[in-house]
Amino acid sequence: MMMKKFLTSMLFVSIILNTGCKKFLEEKSNQRLMIPENLSQLQTILDNFNTMNNNYSSAAEVSTDDFFLTNNDYQALEYDQDRGTYSWASNNLFLPGDQGNGWSWTYSSVYASNSVMERLALIARTPANAATWDNIKAQALIFKAARLLDAAGTWTNAYDPATAANDLGLPLPVSTNFNEKQTRATLEDTYQAVIRYLREGIATAANQPLSTFRPGKAAGYGLLARTYLNKGEFAQARIYADSCLRLQNQLIDYNALDPSAEYPISATNPETIFSTIFSVTASLLFNTPKISPTLLNSYEANDLRRTLFFRDNGDGTFSFKGNYTGEFSLLCGVATDEMYLIRAEAAIRANDIQEGLNDLNTLLAARYRRGTFTSLANLTQQAALARVLLERRKELLFRGLRWTDIKRLNKLGANITLTRNINGQQYTLPPNSPRFALPLPEDVISLSGMTQNPQ
C-alpha cells in the first residue's frame, strides 16, 4: 500500500512538473492514479525542490551594480538574453529557447501551489488530520506568495502609493485552468494578494517546519517584512521582522568560519529560515561576475566578510563565494541577517535611532574579527540610515535583493544611476527608468495578449 501511494504521488508530480501542467490538465482520463488523493501526495508536490524552491528568476540579480563582467566574459555569453539583461537592453524580450525563463519557472510554481489548494479543498479536514491539512494549506500559500513577491521585484516598477492602483502588476491565477485568460493585475492588487496569502498562510503554518525547504511561520513573517519594506511601509516591516526574529534570531559567528574554504558558509547554517534558490545563469556562474571595486573597498580590514565572501582571482579582480548554500547556488530565501537589517532600517526611519543601531551592532559583532568592532552609537538619523543601508548592501549581495533595493531607494530620492562599460561603449540606467521593470518574455506577450512593460 505504501509503495502504491509513493508511485501515485511520484507519477502525479512527474506528469505535472515534467511534462507540463497544461497537457496534464487537458487529458480527459479516468486513471485515478494520476490525481492526488491524500495529504501525503499533496505534501510530495510541495516537496518537489526544483519546482517549489529552485529556479527563482535571476534576471534582476544579473541587472544589479554589485558586479561587472569583463569584455571577454561578456562576449563569451552564449545567449542573447544574458547579454541583453546585463546591458539593460530595451528589446531584451527573453526569446523562447534562450537559457532559462524565470517567468515560466515562476508560474510553474504558482500553478503547483494552486493545484495543491484545489485538491486540498476536496479532502475533508477532520480532527485527525487537521494539523497536517492546515500545514499543507499554509505551505502552498506561502510558496505562492514568495514567487509572486520575487516576480514583482523583477517585472514591475517600484511600488508608489500614488500610482500603484494604475501601475502594471502581475497575473494572479487562482486555479489550474489554463483556458482562463490571464491579464495583468494592478501593482496594488499584486501586493495585496501577496500580503493576503502570507497572512492566511502564517495563521496555520508550523512554528518549526521539518526543514528550511518547507516554509513555516518565521518564513511567512520574513516575507511579509520584505513585502512591506518594498512598499515603503516601514512600521509594518518592523513589526513583521520582529515577529520573525522572535521565532528565529540566531546569527553565524563569522569568526568560526574557515576563509580558505571554497564555500565557507554551510547550507545548514543557523541563519537560513527558508531556502529558495535563484537560477544561476552564465553571468553569475563561479568567477564570471567580478565584484564592483567600490563595493569591495567598503569592507574594512577587520570585517571578516572581506575574506569569507570574496575569492581573489589573481588578476586584480575578485569573485563571490559567500553563498548561503554551501555550493555555487545562490540563496534568495529568508534569513535572520536580512531581518535584523530590516528591523534596524525601519527603527531608524521611525527616529528610534539607537534601537536600530542595537540591531546593527548585534549583526556586525558577528561579522568583525573578535574584539575589533566598536559599537555604533550617537549617530544622527541621516548617518545611521546611511550606515544601515551600506551594511545591507555589504551583507545581502547575491541574495536577489539589490535590484528591488535600488528601485525602492530611488523612489525615496537616492538617485542611484547604474552604468556599464562594455567593449568601449557606456550603458546607463537612470533612476526610476521604466527599464527597471524588466520586459516579459516575448512568447508570453504573443500568446496571452498581455501588456508589455514600457521600455
Listed in order, strand segments (DSSP E) in 45-97 are 67-68
Q: What domains can be seen in the chain, in order of their start residue?
A: 2-256+331-448 (1.25.40.390)
**Would you state the pLDDT for residue 34?**
53
Indicate the pTM of the whole model: 0.91
pLDDT band at 88 (very low <50, low <70, confident <90, very high): very high
Q: In this structure, are residues 308 and 254 in contact, taking their beta carbons and an 8 Å threshold?
A: yes
Q: What is the mean pLDDT of the chain?
A: 91
Closest CA relative to residue 408, chosen from 235, 88, 160, 59: 160
**Residue partners of 293: CB distance under 8 A and separation at least 6:** none
Average pLDDT over residues 374-381: 97
Average pLDDT over residues 330-355: 98
pLDDT band at 92 (very low <50, low <70, confident <90, very high): low
**Would you state the pLDDT for residue 129?**
97
Q: What is the grid cell recorded at 430?
A: 537612470
Closest CA relative to residue 151, chosen from 66, 17, 58: 58
CB count within 10 Å of CB 439 equals 22
- Find the Cα–Cα–Cα–Cα dihedral 226, 228, 229, 230, rounded to 10°: 90
pLDDT band at 94 (very low <50, low <70, confident <90, very high): low
As a whole number of angstroms, the distance between CA 171 and CA 148 comes to: 9
Average pLDDT over residues 349-355: 98
In the predicted model, is pLDDT for residue 33 greater than 50? no
Average pLDDT over residues 267-292: 95
Closest CA relative to residue 211, chosen from 53, 409, 15: 53
